[in-house]
Amino acid sequence: MGAEIIRVECAARSGRGGGLPRMKPGGAFGASFPDGDTGERSYNRFAYYNEVNRNKYAITLDLTKPLGVEVFEKLVKVSDVLVENFSPRVMANFGLDYSALKQISPEIIMVSISGYGQDGPYRDYVAYGQGIEAMAGFSRLTAYPDGEPLKSGVAYADATSGLFAAFAILAALRYRQLTGKGQYIDLSMREALTPLLGEFIMDHTMNRRAAKPMGNHHPSMAPHGCYRCRGEDSWVVIAIASDEEWRSLCRVMGDPPWTRDERFSHARSRWQNQDELDRFIERWTSNYDHRQLASLLQQAGVKAGAVLSVAELVEDPHLRERGFFEPLSHPEAGSHLYPGISWKMSRTPGRLRLPAPCFGEHNEYVFGQLLGLSRDEILRLAEEGVTATEPFSPLDQYSEMET
Amino acid sequence: MSQEALSGLFVLDLSENISGPFCTKLLADYGAEVIKIEKPGEGDPARKIGPFPGDEPHPEKSGTFLFLNANKKGVTLNLGGKGGIAIFQKLVEKADIVVENFRPGVMAGSGLDYQALAKINPSLIMTSISYFGQWGPYRDYHGSDIIAQAMGGLMQLTGEPEREPLKLPGSQAEFQAGLNAAVATLCALYFRDQTGEGQHIDVSVQEAVASILESAVATYSYSGFIRGRLGSRHPLQCPSRVMRCKDGWIHVQAGANWDHFAAFLQTPQLMEPKLASIFRYHHADEVEGVLQPWLMKHGAEEIFASGQEWRIPFAMVLGIEELGEDPQYKARGFFLEIDHPVAGRFAYPGAPFRMSQTPWQIARPAPLLGEHNEEIYAGRLGLSNEDVARLRKNGVI
């Protein structure tokens, strides 16, 4: 959206998976590097980092050193917003909690993202996004009706918390424009995620009902599910909300005799007998290509969609035409597609302007041009280990990319 | 009176069901004045979808509706006729923001597309949410939450590898779209406050979902790797999954320090080179096999509490029914009771984040259908009582 973002990283905790020796590790991890090769500087080639950090600058700064803190305070003076997601004690340990920072800059907007919030008995508890799904009631409900609790296949709590934080910052900026006052935002990942289960919580508060996993079923629609199609791991989803949609589905299926079975004659009976109904429908869908079938159903006015793999998503003609994926050329990772701007704005569309920064790439710009430090001062930062040229290589580090 | 972050903003909300109302809920909860505009007689379809107290359907008692529409004022207006359209246009003159989630083309059909509204109010921000966006080959496709989860690439990544893809519970695609719309709207507001210029925002539910695939897209671009379903495992971290314990389930992750994790579990086997290696995710079955006997000796609460003392990020696998009793939610007062004149008093989910200067607050319960017609049409637009009565008689409101 156009803001100038400076990532403040340190060698011990870069969020980049650390510096690894050059190798081709294989598997999902290896696949996170261009052509499966970690390259000379793995930390500049890591997909996890490069996808979420496009359009940003990066500097290195060790905040455990007084000189690092001193420089950071200078940065705060020229910044509008500070975002951090350490455990709640960390910023205070650096002497950089909000009460300290507002002395330096009363207008600063500071956002702290943590697992459980800045106070309360779990304040110091360690949390990664995946565990937050479990703690917020999501995992119990992310399950097949007869199955064990699962998780979203993505960093759902992280992504959701990030969006809420963006909303919080913009709201605080608006207040600041009107009043000149900055403020502090305490965002607990679990509390941010919880409202997204609102209807289940309301059912419990209204009816003392403990929600049970429904898999792909729906509280009122039926059929409503995911059905096997021709080919390996190929699926279509169908959601029928009305009798009219049901009749359209029947027509596309060629009105087979079973559709006239009285078990399927009304919305209510279809819902009650949906397991049986699902089996009939899957017998039909399994003869078709998932994308062709979805398109056929859509033309008949039926809510349907192919379950797209990431490869199919990137090739999807609709997303292509809308220019959703955008290419970026990264000096060490090469030219690749990334998800672009999540929404379209008519006057200020935004775009991917910059690839993710290399480690310490913008030290010169930020310390020299932005803060006006002298060459000697910048040299001293490097000599005292406040800045670094590459991250440490503690091989256990990439569990930290969740936080 | 304490000023809230978005105080003074006037928002017209034409949206229905979940995505748009969640967007305007966020605006309302942080201080904007949101006027929810519903069809006379029937209202937002969310009024029909429950849950209802005692499972008895009632248009003023839908839990989904009550949750999504607290803090808003409600009016009725028939946009299917000239009288209603004229009144809407008058409201647009005064509005900062319009939010709608009709199928693409519906607003244009009433002469209320962005081009038309911008003529009335050039600084207006109009936010449109649809399943596939306002243009492109799928523009007119029929959508629903599960369709968007599937076509946004999320479903193929969720569930057991050998079973069918699994959707996330409830209406997650809709919520994500609402959240995107809220952020986008405030971005446009920031721009407007600098320049005076409004704009149109096109939020696609499919794209909102496709934006949060945890680097699956970059990974595919980098190496052609097509990420699949892993149950509750993570592609790179191990252990990272929901596992059985003595009395139920626990979410297991080791944290940053493997030695420390092994010491906590007093399980030296974990220090075997193969399992201590960062590439242990190749041997996930074995790692989990070593952990399982220990987990079966301990209960979830015990593992969570004692693990956290060691700063190991165990997490309990809580049911919705357990959230209200959770000491952390309680200490922070997360759930709060709202009294509604027809539905009654219930505990609702609270603030998604806390602002030190401009706290989140609930000023009013969700509106009854047409509850604020007089206040808005007479008070705000200056119509006479006779005008309002005539509009009501003619079915415009």
Q: What is the pLDDT of residues A190-219, one digit of tens each?
A: 999 999 999 999 999 999 999 999 999 999
Residue B245's pLDDT is: 98
Distance, CA of A215 to chain centre = 22
- Contact criterion met (CB < 8 Å) for A170 and B63: no
Q: How confident is the model at residue A81 (pLDDT cuts 50, 70, 90)?
A: very high
Question: What is the predicted pLDDT for the residue at A398?
Answer: 40
Nearest to B216 among A127, A310, A333 (CB): A310
**Interchain contact, B217 vs A306, CB within 8 Å:** no
Domain A5-195+325-402 annotated CATH 3.50.50.60? no
Q: What does the block give as tokens for A179? A: 């009043």
Confidence of residue A392 (pLDDT cuts 50, 70, 90): confident
pLDDT band for A17, please (50, 70, 90 cuts).
confident
Nearest CA in chain A to B114: A346
- Residues of A within 8 A of B350 (CB-CB) are 191
pLDDT tens digits for range B239-284: 999 999 999 999 999 998 899 999 999 999 999 999 998 889 889 9
Say if residue B312 is in the same domain as residue B340.
no
In a domain, B226, yes or no: no
CB contact under 8 A, B214 and A159: yes
Nearest CB among A167, A184, A196 relative to B186 is that of A167
B217 inside domain = no
**Percent above pLDDT 90 for chain A:** 93
The reply to whether B146 and B267 lie within a common domain is no
What chain B residue is nearest to A134 in terms of C-alpha separation? B317
Q: Could you state, in chain order, the average pLDDT of each consecutive group of 10 residues for chain B (397 residues)?
A: 86 98 98 98 96 97 98 97 96 98 97 98 98 98 98 98 97 98 98 97 98 97 97 92 98 93 95 90 94 98 97 97 98 97 97 95 95 96 94 93
Residues of B in Cβ contact (< 8 Å) with A130: 234, 240, 251, 253, 315
B165 and B82 in one domain? yes
Terminal-to-terminal C-alpha distance of chain A: 23
Residues B180 and B78 in one domain: yes
Residue B247 and residue B294 share a domain: yes
Binning pLDDT at 50, 70 and 90, where does residue A402 land? very low
Our CA-based measurement puts residue B250 at a distance from the nearest CA of chain A, in whole angstroms, of 8
Provide the domain count of chain B: 2
**Looking at the domain assignment, is residue B44 inside a domain?**
yes
Chain length of chain A: 403
CA gap B23, B330 in Å, rounded = 26
8 Å CB contact between B144 and B152? no
Which residue segment(s) compose the domain that B42 sits in? 10-211+333-393
B390 touches chain A (CB under 8 A): no
- CATH number, domain at B244? 3.30.1540.10
Instruction: Classify residue B288: in a domain, yes or no.
Output: yes
Read off the pLDDT of each residue in A83-92 and give the average, rounded to a whole number.
95
Does the residue B5 lie in any domain? Answer: no
CB contact (8 A) between residue A195 and residue B349: yes
Is there a single domain that holds both residue B169 and residue B307? no
Domain A234-308 sits in CATH at 3.30.1540.10
Mean pLDDT of A126-136: 96
The nearest CA of chain A is from the CA of B285 a distance in Å of: 15
B261 and B190 in a common domain: no
The partner residues of A188 in beta bridges, in order of sequence, read A114
Per the domain annotation, does B371 fall within a domain?
Answer: yes
DSSP B6-40: TTT-EEEE---TTHHHHHHHHHHHTT-EEEEEE-T
pLDDT digits (tens, 9 = 90+) for A269-306: 999 999 999 999 999 999 999 999 999 999 999 999 99
Q: What is the pLDDT of residue A13?
A: 82
B218 occurs within a structural domain: no
B292 in contact with A at a CB cutoff of 8 Å? no
Q: Are residues B104 and B190 in the same domain?
A: yes
Residue ending a domain, among B318, B341, B364, is: B318
B329 lies within 8 A of chain A by CB:
yes
Cβ(B216)–Cβ(A154) below 8 Å: yes
Residues of chain A with CATH 3.30.1540.10: 234-308
* Cα separation values, B168 from A140, A156, A299, B57, B158, Å: 11, 10, 26, 26, 8
Residue-wise pLDDT tens digits, A356-390: 999 999 999 999 999 999 999 999 999 999 999 99
Smallest CA–CA distance from B181 into chain A, residue: A343
Residues B51 and B167 in one domain: yes
Q: Which residues of chain A are in CATH 3.40.50.10540 domains?
A: 5-195+325-402
Q: Which residues of B touch A126 (CB under 8 A)?
A: 255, 308, 311-313
Cα–Cα distance measured from residue B37 to residue B43, given in angstroms and rounded to the nearest whole number: 8
Q: What DSSP assignment string belongs to A26-67?
A: -HHHHTTSGGG---S-GGGS-HHHHHHTTTEEEEE--TTSHH
The arithmetic mean of pLDDT across residues A32-43, rounded, is 95
pLDDT at residue A400 above 50? no
Q: Do A148 and B319 touch (CB under 8 A)?
A: no
* Same domain as B252, residue B145: no
Q: Are the C-beta atoms of A298 and B142 separated by less than 8 Å?
A: yes
- Chain A neighbors of B361, CB-CB under 8 A: none
Find the CATH number of the domain harbouring B388: 3.40.50.10540
Q: Among partner residues A126, A214, A301, which is closest to B311 by beta-carbon distance?
A: A126
CB-CB contact of B209 with B216 (8 Å): no
Strand bridging mode B344-348 / B336-340: antiparallel
Task: Give the per-residue pLDDT at B241.
Answer: 96
Is residue B57 located within the same domain as residue B181?
yes
- In this prediction, residue B256 carries a pLDDT of 84
Question: What number of CA atoms fall less than 13 Å from residue B114's CA on the CB side?
Answer: 19
Active site residues of B: 234
Q: Are residues B247 and B350 in the same domain?
A: no
Handedness of CA A359, A354, B133, B108 (dihedral sign): positive
